[in-house]
Amino acid sequence: MEHTSTDSVAARPHRVLITGSAGQLGHALAEAFASDEITGVDLAEWNVAEPAPSWLRAPDLVLHAAAWTDVDGAEADCMGAERANVGGTSNVAALGTPLVYYSSDYVFSGTKRTPYLESDATGPRSVYGRTKLGGEQAAGERAWIVRSSWLFGATGHNFLRTMLRLGAERDEVAVVDDQRGCPTYVGHLAEATRRIIQLPFSTYHVAADGDCSWKEFAEAIFEEAGLPCRVRATATADLNRPAPRPAYSVLRSEKPETPRLPHWREGLRACLSEIKRLGQ
């Protein structure tokens, strides 16, 4: 459902609250919105599973990046994941200001073989996916729902940083070749968020152009980083993970106004440049 925005959030200087500010997306959002008055909160400042602290000044905009992201852990602690992703979003929405809620490809079953559009029926197969979908509903009507996938950045824990570490330690790594998606650089997603908040409240698919398997992504990482590590294909079933993964989670937008992100290869190169700049 789409709602016409009357808040004109992007048309004036504003106070921006970033939840999950210590995470990879939170870092990128802080850079993208550096010209605004930013308040960043992470778990130590505000566990969003609880009501907002009394000292928190009401913002003009919330960028809600805080989330339970442990996909397998959610299977073992479904109540914890729900408190964080659904209850936490309800608490953020209770601030009464427009918010951007970052959702996931996991809200879909992954059984399609063509890109998922905003109008496609959801059907999460994991606890994590169900709680992210529940968070979309908890965000309320004054929200931009931004679905993205396979996020990576220069900070935090993500596939790219894991591959860089393993590629420097090993001659070969095994990576699944039966999942396909759009590796999305958080720096590009954060910049796109500035354009999203100029659009009507609605759901938007914002993921990198192009698609690949995790194996192909690993190979590209090693190639761009100049690491000689080989990549051996393996199957998702061989990993015996508690949570099912979408086999196909390519996201595309059917809305012409949705910002288009660069190709995932461009995001990879930009991220590696950022890592070099940060000396990590």
Q: Active-site residue numbers? A: 128
Q: Where are the beta strands (DSSP E) in 105-207?
A: 143-148, 151-152, 172-176, 180-181, 184-185, 203-205
76: which 2 tokens? 């073992």
**Residues 86/135, Cβ–Cβ less than 8 Å:** yes
230: which 2 tokens? 């080989």
Which 3 state secondary structure label does DSSP give 101? strand
Q: Which run of H or E residues covers position 212?
A: strand 212-213
Separation of first and last alpha carbons in the chain: 42
135: which 2 tokens? 């968070």
Please give the Cα distance from 215 to 202 (Å, whole number): 33
- The three-point CA angle 34-139-181 to 5° equals 75
Measured CA to CA in angstroms, residue 110 lies from 42, 159, 246 at distances of: 31, 20, 4
Please give the Cα distance from 130 to 134 (Å, whole number): 6
Q: Where are the beta strands (DSSP E) in 1-86?
A: 15-19, 37-41, 61-64
Please give the Cα distance from 181 to 44 (Å, whole number): 33
